[in-house]
Each structure stands twice: as C-alpha cells, then as structure tokens.
Amino acid sequence: MTTVKPVILGLALLAIAGAASAQVPRGMGPVSADIQRRGNDSMTERFGDGVRALQAKNYVVAESIFRDVLRQRPKHAEANLMMGVSKMGQEQWADARPYLEMAVKADPKNPDPKSRLGVTLVKLGDLEGAKEQRAALEKMDAACKGKCRNAEWIAGGLAMIDAAALKPPA
C-alpha cells in the first residue's frame, strides 16, 4: 500500500460527510498534526483504510479497522471520533457515545467530536447532555467570531445538533 499523505488523508476526511445521517454537512474538521506526522506508519495506513470504508458507507468494516487502531492507541482522538462515526452510521447511538466522549476529551478544541456527541446524545434522549455540547460549540463560536479556521465546522456542528433535536429520538 502506498503511503497515505497528509493532504490525501485530509481530502478523504472531508469526503466522509455522508457517513451517517447526522453528519456535519461540510465534512470533517482539520487533520491533526499527530496524523500528519505519522505519514509512513502502519497505523496511519490502517486509519486511511478505515476512512475509505466510511466513504464507502461500509460501517462494519470501518468499525473493525478503527477497533484495530484503538487497540494500539486507545486514547487517539481521531480514531475514537471515526469509531464513533462508524457506530453512528449503524445507528448504534449508545455504542457511539463513549468513543465520541473520548474524542471530545482528547481533543477539546476540535468542534467536530462535540457536534457528533451532541447529535448522539439527542438520539439517546439526553437533551441536557446535548445542550452542554451545543453550549461548548457556542462558546467556541463566540471566541472565533466566524474568522478562525474552525468557523465552518463550528457553524455546521451547531446546525447538526439543532437538526437532530427537531427529530424525535430513535
């Protein structure tokens, strides 16, 4: 397998916007420096395989791949996020929750895990928890003022939680 280059991985992450019905419309947030630095290792290749499985909406395969990645790096923010997205794609909301919570904890400045966790909490009927994630995004939005590199992801995340809240929980 060829080396997954950071730019290609970033484009792949942007392409998985349709991975689950409750996705940020514009795709994934920026690729972390951690993933970018790891351009040649097998974990990055496996991560890329998982992203491609998500792009193909093959959530079961993606779940298996991200489980392998998480065995090596259980607190890896992006792998936890992708595992959560894999579970969301299968509408396994309760199973998605701990992965998304870990992603939020591991990368608190990234709005994407907060958005997805907020949607998951809505689906689970935990509206207070969803409100907390939305409030965290609102705080990020106020600090950003629409001008930071995550402005698009923050706005999309707020919209995603709001859209999920308008539908009754599963």
Residue 71 Cα distances to 52, 65, 68, 104, angstroms: 19, 10, 5, 19
Tell me the per-residue pLDDT of 131-151, one tens digit each, with 9 for 90 and over: 999 999 999 999 998 899 999
User: What pLDDT sits at residue 34?
Assistant: 55
The conformational region for residue 91 under phi > 0 = left, psi -120 to 50 = alpha, else beta, is: left
d(CA 46, CA 59): 15
Look at the chain and count its residues: 170
Look up the CATH architecture of domain 6-166: Alpha Horseshoe (1.25)
Q: What is the mean pLDDT of the chain?
A: 81
Where does the pLDDT of residue 32 fall: very low under 50, low under 70, confident under 90, or very high at 90 and above?
A: low
Q: Is the pLDDT of residue 18 over 70?
A: no
Domain ranges of the chain: 6-166
Find the mean pLDDT for residues 46-56. 94
Find the mean pLDDT for residues 84-112. 97
